[in-house]
Structure 1
């Protein structure tokens, strides 16, 4: 989740909870990763030109594990139990369901609470839970502040206490975030909103808490204490210190106050930018310019209002998108392009003010630019390194991009001249969608693609994922009966993740089908992280902690009033202590199965989406880190997408297709030739998409450089110049398409991350899995070197180990260039070579 930022409402709620009037800047240090997707996931095909990478969760998180079973690799990985579990999963997900009605358990049964948490049986429980959480957090804050007074033993526990403080707050915040986005009951949503805003506001207050910062800095400045910390604990301590400093806590009082003001301004500007509408501007398009459009398109456009015989094309609407794809007349496409990509002046002004304020914030902290400030704790480290990566990646793909472009220019030549030879015509931004549509239609006809959706019901895909994980990692899914009050909608399924000894590893709640009140997107929510719990020392909170006014509380009298959210813990074979098991939620928007229409059948983009989100879930499940702050997907923004993108390579390789794809009615296997033809058509222009993403990443870096501080800065002119200098189609003067680039807010200076992880995933796939995608030894290697560590180790070191490539271990500019030169493989193509 992007680091929580306090709105006025959140600060007011925090004041009500905490009795505090403190103002809060952007939160960093304590809320590392409540799973809030900054934008919907997009499928890999049909992605709008300004669509994001597939989520930096959902997600994904800023700072959003060890193996649960350190056993020898078994000889056989397919058991009768696993096969039976897979069959049950298929039947469960393909059975008719309803968005409304009773669950399978009786409402007369005892209410277990959401996620089987007794503290969340009704909406009225959220305020009480928030109050208890706040009280426990206040005791922890006081205990950490006083640690230097109580000697070496308490100081040695400071990192754990800070992490537990974060986990105490995030446990409620993460649950509330899911509820307020997915629950169909408005009372639950309102209660979750209030708890979320109140606790986030309090957390934001803590992010300017000089006492906490001073104590963690004292720990890190003590060589003896540092030597006593594990590598993971030291990583957590450094994360806390860095994130406190990113909140301006180390600044003088006046500068810190200015930091708070700027953070508040940025929040307001960001929300204004994201909520801006296209506006009432229309573009006139003469009817005769639509000559030659297909009949159904013409019929659809017949409803468009007219004035003086010309269609009035609204800004940003479906009408412009349709004309760009299907109008042979270039004048019509140029008009539609302006309608689709233009923006009102006030929207552009909002963006530019946002960029200036970010530059001011960076200057206040002593950073050269906002990009430099943001990248300091990422794999890239510095803006120059991002530029090196993008340059190397662009050079690697240049020949393929040019071939793609020339294919489209050849189509334009044939349409203009009727010839297949001669000079290629010029090609403009408004030509791309039209000729890409022609190209894909031609590719589809030539390859004789057949429908593949009947082979990809939700049940078959889910069962296939279980089989894949069982072969690679020794994990499988097992359907579990939901209890009364456990889930928020009757079609939400509880899936237990178990290992080969049938030991519980974690829980996945699958909320996969469309409802009116659900977000129309895919997301992975981490409701609970893995974390060691037996060393928490809850008694010490009362012994050493106090309320903000100094009042000491008796554990005997206040144990219930300060009771944290429940978290059942279990021993883990091969590890010391007890750990809470991770709980994640997968939200999708698939068509609901019914008795009339049959099971939910997925198109290819939806299949990829489910695999992608399962990559995030796998990352969460395999974690057994001692600390919540580095568990699973709580790692660097430019590393978090690696496991999920790697899953996209598996989805289209022949051996995995054999596990996953079977006809929902006959169980017949999908002929791989059908999928191969489909992929060849759908991805025939993928290099152009990659090039476009490179341009967006370069634009993001430019906007967050020192350029934004120049009073003459013009974001529209900068966009046009970038296309003229680095693009394959000339820029369009005066068209402010950047105003539709919403991820300039959520992904400011980190938009390169998805491309970066795509390149890394391509390399991991080629080195470990391409030759044998079901190789258990390769799976164990990726698990033990990457997945189990979350954010607890330097990602460059993890990659160097798993790839056996010491040249990238330092993570410097040469390493970034190396990743760029790896390039991005066409997913699903290299497996067939």
Structure 2
């Protein structure tokens, strides 16, 4: 289903997509095709990618031939003299572009997980071509006429509900992609999309480049006080790879806050690290993103207006469960005041700790996580350092993440070493269902490296579909610092919950049981896709799961019950900070995307716009900067433009679901089977909110979220922020 893939790819780049002719693609010889692994299905189990045979110079020929082949297929559909039918139009599109699908899927997965200069050049060279290719499909008038004809009589075609929905979704995608525009406006749209594609690629390349370039250099090991010997050795090794022998390098993650800030006792080092982080993309030089941001925001606003929307947020949200910017604004606006109030109360506790120790300074952003750990230790008599010896990566994954999936869904996992990987630390597992049949292949890529983008994510290399007969091959990616050789990988609690979270996405992909590729796995609205993954986080501290994986990496002794109890008791600790930094970013995203083109500042005004937006939203609390600042806010330059709110929107559903599990006995197979049958297996084949209601038996309520975030007493209005499935159809 590569028409859908092309449109989804456009969305992932933050664009709606542009004009590529068949003639532009050079012909490939049969010999070249035979040696290129993308020109035929992989012979490996479940069509697992042939990483050992894929060369960087295989991509361009596959892209060129794949686009030409798909356009030929699309032209054949559009020019078919027979009257449009579901089979000769919709299913034909679902089956089109297999070569391009295989090549793009692997390419964009590797660009995120293990990029290199050749791949980055390809990304730059082809971003506009891919955009043009998608527009060549989405703006094909004859093709849309066939879709439109089927849409008008969709209820009389004898299709099941999934088939009718497939027609409806294609029709919606084409209309939103500009199918009803005049030829002149289609030409404008193509130009906009082409420019957006190039700018989006350059933005993400700058972010990766600046993350690596902004790593801080430390001259003296004393400045690393608070680090473990293993962390110091890692910093020394990082310096050595940069030919800085005798020094130490601390690499950055893409978030504003940096994990070492919670450990480094030297305040000047913490400040240096924090200031390097927040300066990214706005300090001048080759990686400065301010001009790109200004251009992207103006183009998005202009494109929205061309398509008939007041702004980019209105365009995006119409196709999400939120439906309108006002619905998002109402929810975020309701949560921000109590979150900031909580953060200020937390700050007061941190300041007391600073004063108690005779610090003689006011709390600053680079102090927060360091003193939060001290306060956590004082309040709950434990800190993160006590946890880490019990949180060894392999045990967390196999005895925690996999064990929870076994207990809840009956899944079993078996590592295999016969399949190729793109990087030596990557691991591969066969996944078997409760009946012993293979369900999927799972790829685990846990470690950070300079060739890997920041953050954590899941992607599919092969997606399930009854139409194709494919079973899933899915991957999880984290950015855990790799310890020196021979040393254990000990995790923070945040890394543990992130591992459970990402595996929730993996389960969503692996459990997919749909007929059409369009609906497979995580192909759901962006403000719904985070929901199943957030639900899976609940098992990280579920007592029976925690006891199974939280064992000392040297002695094998279980984490003491007292410490287990403290982990659970501290769950709401620092929630004011976490909620405020998240809302600061989510509301900033909306501010950027709810303005018209003439309101977009020039490059020099980008940071002033950000500051003004935070002040207006009430999130401008200096000790808690937004989780992402605009110049490195990769989410909103990619698939989450006007959609970063989705995490907390989904968390409403998550909190309701956690409550449902607790009320129905918790970790029980029958509960897991119910969640899988009613929701996880359905992908996008049904209205998202209806899927939630099928599972939970009621419409979503906000109260469980308020309780989870410790905001119950702060929010008087407990009205539900998410519309009912019926309302979402209006």
- Report the TM-score, using the length of structure 2 for normalisation: 0.74
* Match among 461, 465, 478 for residue 531 of structure 1: 465
1:376 offset after TM fit, Å? 1.1
**Among 346, 352, 355, which residue is 1:404 paired with?**
346
SS, match of residue 495 in structure 1:
strand
Alignment match of 1:456 (pick from 372, 381, 391): 391
Residue number among 641, 656, 681 corresponding to 1:788 in the alignment: 681
Residue from 515, 519, 530 that aligns with 1:630: 519
Q: CA deviation at 1:208?
A: 2.6
Identify the residue that residue 75 of structure 1 maps to in structure 2. none
Q: Is the Cα contact below 8 Å between 1:183 and 1:189 reproduced in 2?
A: no
Evaluate the alpha carbon distance shift between residue 320 and residue 183 of structure 1 in structure 2; reply closer, same or farther with a 3 A threshold: closer
Aligned partner of 1:389 in structure 2 is 331
What SS does the corresponding residue of 1:587 show, helix, strand or coil? strand
Question: 1:593-742 alignment to 2 at 5 Å?
Answer: 597-677=486-566, 684-706=573-595, 708-710=597-599, 715-727=606-618, 738-742=630-634
Alpha-carbon distance, 1:625 to partner: 0.6
Say if 2:418 is the partner of 1:482: yes
- Which stretch has the larger CA shift, 215-224 or 439-448? 439-448
* In 1, Cα distance between equivalents of 2:595 and 2:562: 52
Structure 1 match to 2:39: none
CA contact (8 A) 1:13 1:197 kept: no
Deviation for aligned residue 1:525: 1.9
Aligned length: 639
Whether 2:471 is the aligned partner of 1:581: answer yes
What's the counterpart of residue 78 of structure 2? Answer: 145
Task: Select the residue among 167, 172, 178 that pairs with 1:248.
Answer: 178
Alpha-carbon separation, structure 2, partners of 1:217 and 1:584: 34
- Cα deviation for residue 502 of structure 1 reads 0.9
Could you say which residue in structure 1 is the equivalent of 2:5? none
Asked if the contact 1:619–1:633 (Cα under 8 Å) also holds between the matched residues in 2, the reply is: yes
Further displaced range: 653-662 or 597-606: 597-606
Q: CA deviation at 1:120?
A: 8.1
2:415 aligned counterpart, secondary structure: strand
**445-454 or 651-660: which moved more?**
445-454
Helix, strand or coil at the partner of 2:327: helix
Q: Which residue is equivalent to 1:495?
A: 429
1:150 is paired with a residue whose SS is coil
| 3-state secondary structure, aligned to 1:612 | helix
Structure 1 unaligned blocks of 5 or more: 20-109, 283-292, 304-314, 419-424, 535-578, 809-817, 828-833
Assess if the C-alpha contact under 8 Å between 1:531 and 1:581 holds in 2: yes
Q: Which residue of 2 aligns with 1:762?
A: 655
Counterpart check, 1:470 vs 2:470: no
Which whole-Å CA distance do the structure 2 matches of 1:326 and 1:496 have between them?
Answer: 44
Seen in structure 2, the aligned counterparts of structure 1 residues 407 and 250 have a Cα distance that, compared at 3 Å, is same
**Are the counterparts in 2 of residues 176 and 193 from structure 1 also a CA contact under 8 Å?**
no
C-alpha spacing 1:6/1:411, structure 2 compared with 1 (3 Å): closer
* Aligned CA distance change for structure 1 residues 178 and 603 (closer, same or farther; 3 Å): same
What residue is the counterpart of 2:374 in the other structure?
441
Secondary structure in 2 matching 1:3 = helix
Partner of 1:178: 109
| Aligned-partner Cα distance in 2 for 1:682–1:647 | 16
Pairing partner for 2:305 from 363, 367, 379: 363
Shift of 1:522: 3.4
Which residue matches 1:76? Answer: none
3-state DSSP of counterpart to 1:380 = coil
Secondary structure at the residue paired with 2:529?
A: coil
Q: Deviations over 1:712-751 (max 9, x none)?
A: 795544433444444365579xx99544434342232111
SS at match of 1:478: strand
Match of 1:556 in 2: none
1:522-553 deviation per Cα after TM superposition (whole angstroms, max 9, x unaligned): 3322011111236xxxxxxxxxxxxxxxxxxx
CA contact (8 A) 1:645 1:758 kept: yes
Structure 2 Cα separation of the partners of residues 440 and 668 of structure 1: 24
Instruction: Sort the Cα spacing of 1:406 and 1:453 in 2 relative to 1 into closer, same or farther, 3 A.
Output: closer
Q: Give the drift of 1:258.
A: 1.1
The answer for the alignment partner of 2:164 in structure 1 is 234
2:37 maps to what in 1? none
Match of 1:3 in 2: 11
C-alpha offsets along residues 508-530 of structure 1, whole Å, 9 cap, x if unaligned?
12333456644465332201111
More helix by share: 2
For residue 474 of structure 1, report the CA deviation from its aligned partner. 2.2
Determine if the alignment matches structure 1 residue 512 to structure 2 residue 446: yes
**RCO (CA 8 Å, sep 6+): is it higher in 1 or 2?**
1
In 1, distance between residues paired with 2:496 and 2:186? 48
Cα RMSD of the aligned pairs, angstroms, is 4.7
Give how far 1:392 is off: 3.0
2:708 is aligned with 1:825 = yes
- Residues 237-290 of structure 1, C-alpha deviations (whole Å, 9 max, x = no match): 2322222233323211111111122222333444454527889xx9xxxxxxxx
Tell me, what secondary structure is at the counterpart of 2:558? coil
TM-score, normalised on structure 1?
Answer: 0.66
Distance 1:490 1:354 in 2: 37
